[in-house]
Amino acid sequence: AKELGRNNYQFYSPDMNAKTMRQLGMEAELRKAIERNDLCLHYQPQFEIETGQVVGIEALVRWNHPERGMIPPEDFISLAEETGLIVSIGNWVLSRACAQNRALQDAGLSPLRMAVNLSPRQFNQRDLPEQVAKILRVTGLEPCWLELEITESIIMQDLETTIDQMVRLMELGVRISIDDFGTGYSSLSYLKRFPIQTLKIDRSFVRDIGSDSDDTAIVAAVIALAHNLKLEVVAEGVETQDQLNFLKSRGCDLAQGFLFSRPISAEALLELLLSQAAG
Ligand code: C2E
Ligand code: CA
Ligand code: CA
Ligand code: CA
């Protein structure tokens, strides 16, 4: 018992304690943020490479902290995932993004696709398809204008369950895309079995187009593979004209990145879309 006690004591080292305390504090704050509506969405447009037109938008969550300012998702999504708070955050993001997309259509703009990120825990909620259906009903958004982005880490869990959940979502009429493609290790043969429409090439490959011949080859191969499987390809993290030229030469469908636009507020998005519509 004494030994055990000592081990326990070691486990709760002062460092660990401080870290746990910080996390507990942050968890409580995050709960408050959800209640107080301190989360907000920014939107990054996706451009059709051929025409230069905005055809899609990705919704990206931020935490507008009263003292610390805008906190990026990287600083709170994993905590939300660990604590389960991601389920309520995720539902809020879905509702907000669908309502925003519906509002753009109501403003007379031609319909765009709204992409929303799903975390593994959120994807694995058995009632996710019912939640999505309800949100579509309440916001009045047609399902075809919603795209759910999932990462390969989801896929690596249980294949049959994953496919089953994807099919239930597909049956609602929403689109599914694989995000950060190439960074996980999903077998290529899985791709054929998934009811998906889009592959998003991770920005780590796009970044090194031109300078790293391996990454350049990977990007070219992913575009060719996706097209063979009748999937649409989105390149993310496009920052330079050279990257865009290469993607265009390979027939990549859509591009998203700082070259076109950073993630922007709903107001700025509306302005951008209105100026595009005006020609
Ligand atoms: P992601 O899904 O890969 O989203 C793209 C991230 O790349 C965004 O970061 C975006 O600002 C950034 N980005 C876009 N274009 C460029 C570029 O040209 N250059 C560079 N360097 N970066 C670019 P953000 O908004 O900080 O989001 C980070 C990650 O947080 C997202 O990566 C996604 O995994 C996660 N995330 C964001 N919103 C949500 C959400 O609502 N739910 C969940 N589960 N995860 C989210
Ligand atoms: Ca994404
Ligand atoms: Ca991504
Ligand atoms: Ca990424």
Render pLDDT for 129-155 as a digit per residue (tens, 0 to 9).
999 999 999 999 999 999 999 998 886
Tell me the C-alpha distance between 120 and 255, whole Å. Answer: 25
Indicate whether 156 pLDDT > 80: no
What's the CA-to-centroid distance between 202 and ligand 3, angstroms? 6
Tell me the C-alpha distance between 94 and 115, whole Å. Answer: 9
Indicate whether 117 pLDDT > 50: yes
* Token code pair at residue 52: 């230069």
From the CA of 73, give the closest atom in ligand 1: 30
From the CA of 60, give the closest atom in ligand 1: 38
pLDDT of residue 16: 63
pLDDT of residue 192: 87
Protein residue with least CA distance to atom 2, ligand 1: 117
* Token code pair at residue 179: 């995000």
Indicate whether 36 pLDDT > 80: yes
What's the CA-to-centroid distance between 233 and ligand 3, angstroms? 12
From the CA of 236, give the closest atom in ligand 1: 15
What's the CA-to-centroid distance between 60 and ligand 2, angstroms? 8
Burial of 255 (0-12, 13-18, 19+ CB in 10 A): buried
Tell me the C-alpha distance between 69 and 71, whole Å. Answer: 6
From the CA of 180, give the closest atom in ligand 1: 3
Tell me the C-alpha distance between 124 and 70, whole Å. Answer: 29
pLDDT digits (tens, 9 = 90+) for 225-271: 999 999 999 999 999 999 999 999 999 999 999 999 999 999 999 99
**Which of the ligands is closest to the CA of residue 234?**
3
* Token code pair at residue 30: 């995050």
**CA distances in angstroms from 65 to 18, 29, 38, 77, 106, listed in the order given:** 21, 9, 7, 14, 31
ipTM: 0.97
Element at 152 (helix H, strand E):
helix 152-155
- Percent of all residues in the chain with a pLDDT value above 70, rounded to a whole number: 91
* Token code pair at residue 191: 């791709």
From the CA of 119, give the closest atom in ligand 1: 44
What's the CA-to-centroid distance between 180 and ligand 2, angstroms? 7
**CA distances in angstroms from 224 to 84, 191, 202, 252, 253, listed in the order given:** 38, 14, 15, 9, 11
What's the CA-to-centroid distance between 17 and ligand 1, angstroms? 31
What is the C-alpha end-to-end distance of the chain, expressed in Å? 77
pLDDT of residue 6: 46
**Which of the ligands is closest to the CA of residue 119?**
1
**Which of the ligands is closest to the CA of residue 60?**
1
Contacts with 179 (C-beta within 8 Å, 6 or more apart), sequence order:
117, 149, 150, 151, 200
The pairing of strands 198-201 and 175-181 is parallel
Indicate whether 186 pLDDT > 70: no
Indicate whether 3 pLDDT > 60: no
Ligand 1-lining residues (CB < 6 angstroms): 44, 60-61, 72-74, 77, 90, 93, 117, 119, 179-180, 203, 236-239, 256-258, 263
What's the CA-to-centroid distance between 13 and ligand 1, angstroms? 34
pLDDT of residue 182: 84
| Pair 97, 72: CB distance under 8 Å | no
- Phi–psi pair at 197, nearest 5 degrees: -120, -20
pTM over the 0.90 mark? yes
3-state secondary structure (DSSP) of residue 81: helix
**Which of the ligands is closest to the CA of residue 257?**
1
What's the CA-to-centroid distance between 205 and ligand 4, angstroms? 10
